Structure 1
């Protein structure tokens, strides 16, 4: 299939006879500029097929092609958090025709309930952001008063961990995506403000490489202003033991008109950190891999130490109290402070 790759209503590339022709590289997705691998780029935009509710969603939509690329093509590869999309050669479609304006399939994507499946299966609408809502957790996009919010299922400990880290980051003055607690869900606001900027996940310029030093060096070339927020993100990952900072849950924001990198995206997706998988047994943080990796980064460039804020037990206890959930405050505080005290400052 031949098509044009768009940034809003600007043609940025052509995909013809399985070959990529970049027309405006500065406005194209970074991954295409670096690799020219259009099929892989499309796959990275697809809903996780292993999510049970994704299979129900595709069934309700009666998709004839249920593989990753087929799912993405069915909605012109549109997502909530950027302005990239595709259209057939010689098509009259414009961005206003394909961008999302409703959350009709949200309940089905989040809960997979019979009623939501039955209702969705009888809908005439097929345009949904859920087919390009990536990630392994059951989730959905909800449109509330003109703003998109991500709703993600969470148990008590996942919700505490996500919301506590958000509140701790805010207390420390970090750049954090906005989170709210819900009934069995954790909610986060679309930090692109309905694609007023383009979010590029780090995968687009790092592939699967999660190495701190290599990422730091790449960010220095892309946007030196990202360094401060990147180190602060890793600092939170370290003290709160976040094992899930892969290249799809952080990234950069780009100007939609120039392609310039504006900065690091706000810190998001911390629901597998801290106590989300149970209270850590290694409270003293001996041989802690998170601390070791972060200290290696600080040893590589000791100027980065200036981005590490002071942290006290009082700050942690204050934040735990503000979250308002029953947890073992003493254990959590000790775990975080032991990690903090082992960081080379």
Structure 2
């Protein structure tokens, strides 16, 4: 299970319901994974209590990407804490700046903030944001949209094809929103834009 969609796997003979165990609506242990990621005693920096849940039952098992990151739950809200891959820890700061620029140019965005994580050895700066979907939504990456329509060309034409697919499916102002995202990339010299890190949010019940 993850915090990006509503798909899950279980053994055929297990009598388990997704509604009883999903991470959107239920607690999970964040301490062990968090300290394995950021260092011993780093979880204490968060000033939240660890749960008695199985440490291997966590949405952190499905996290991807190169940067250190971990999910935690605070007051029934899921938060992603993401670290840096460079010496000067610019990435978390850039996340916050990007969200502020999005606010200025009127792009739907997830608000980011900064937090210091303290361990016995060092202090680490991380960005913090809420999960962008809820228990009735899923994220569909642009790559998946193009692949499903059998229109993936791996060229600049993918941009125009992607916009047309979204417009054909009733997504309003798709061209404007995607272009504003690319303007944000230009302003911030973002070199990490690819078809797997943007997309659409769909309701899993209505498929809208």
What's the TM-score bracket when you normalise by the shorter of the two chains? 0.7 to 0.9
Equivalent position to 1:246, from 186, 194, 208? 194
Equivalent position to 1:181, from 114, 131, 152? 114
- SS of the residue corresponding to residue 79 of structure 2 reads strand
Counterpart for residue 190 of structure 1 = 131
Q: How far apart are residue 218 of structure 1 and its match?
A: 2.5
Contact 1:141/1:149, CA 8 A, preserved across alignment: yes
The normalised TM-score by structure 1 is 0.46
| Structure 1 CA distance for aligned equivalents of residues 34 and 205 of structure 2 | 34
* CA deviation profile, 1:120-149 (whole Å, cap 9, x unmatched): 9x9844211111011111110011111111
- SS of the residue corresponding to residue 16 of structure 2 reads coil
Residue 218 of structure 1 pairs with residue 162 of structure 2: yes
* CA deviation profile, 1:181-240 (whole Å, cap 9, x unmatched): 111101121110x33311112232246866453133223223442322111101111222
Contact 2:34/2:42, CA 8 A, preserved across alignment: no
Alpha carbons of 1:123 and 1:196: their partners in 2 closer, same or farther (altered >3 Å)?
A: closer
Alpha carbons of 1:82 and 1:124: their partners in 2 closer, same or farther (altered >3 Å)?
A: closer
Alpha carbons of 1:143 and 1:106: their partners in 2 closer, same or farther (altered >3 Å)?
A: farther
Contact 2:98/2:184, CA 8 A, preserved across alignment: yes
Counterpart for residue 47 of structure 2 = none
Runs (5+) with no aligned partner, structure 1: 1-77, 261-345
Equivalent position to 2:22, from 66, 80, 99? 99
Alpha carbons of 1:151 and 1:124: their partners in 2 closer, same or farther (altered >3 Å)?
A: closer
Counterpart for residue 38 of structure 2 = 111
Alpha carbons of 1:108 and 1:206: their partners in 2 closer, same or farther (altered >3 Å)?
A: farther
Contact 1:82/1:198, CA 8 A, preserved across alignment: yes
* CA deviation profile, 1:230-289 (whole Å, cap 9, x unmatched): 1110111122211101222111100111212xxxxxxxxxxxxxxxxxxxxxxxxxxxxx
* CA deviation profile, 1:159-187 (whole Å, cap 9, x unmatched): 33221121111112111111111111011
- SS of the residue corresponding to residue 79 of structure 1 reads coil
Alpha carbons of 1:232 and 1:91: their partners in 2 closer, same or farther (altered >3 Å)?
A: same
Counterpart for residue 162 of structure 1 = 95
Point out the structure with max Rg over C-alpha: 1
Alpha carbons of 1:245 and 1:195: their partners in 2 closer, same or farther (altered >3 Å)?
A: farther
